[in-house]
Amino acid sequence: MNRNDITEMIIGAKITKGIKWADVATKIGLSKEWVTAACLGQMALDAKQAAIIADTFELPAEAVAILQAVPYKGSLPTAVPTDPLIYRFYELISVYGTTFKELIHEEFGDGIMSAIDFKMDLAREANPMGDRVSITMSGKFLPYKTY
């Protein structure tokens, strides 16, 4: 059994049991965004969190240890995403990436926005022209250092 097997078990159980990510996050006591990323194999859980996930999704006992291992992060199946929703984020970075970079450098200086010291909030935004997806991302600014 490996992490991908566990991710597939989680997704299967989520579908068959009608589980919502927000409900799992409430059990863990963290954001739905972080818990979803962990369940999809992008974050390591601690022992208590892994036990809750295993119980929630009725995973085999050996899954608890695997859920605690540091995963291989950023593992998309192709270099350019082919899933239409994920591709739109790729497209967003292709179009606005230089704008993000320019504005962050202008505001903060030479550095990066951390994806480690990071948080995200995804919410539905009601709109009479059709509901909108609102995503707020916040990452610590990390300046490049001279040495």
Catalytic residues: 88, 91, 114
CA 58/CA 45 separation, integer angstroms: 16
- What single-letter amino acid sits at 70? V
* Four-residue CA torsion sign, 131, 31, 40, 91: positive
- Beta carbons of 142 and 114 less than 8 angstroms apart: yes
CA 23/CA 21 separation, integer angstroms: 5
CA 35/CA 84 separation, integer angstroms: 23
- Beta carbons of 139 and 117 less than 8 angstroms apart: yes
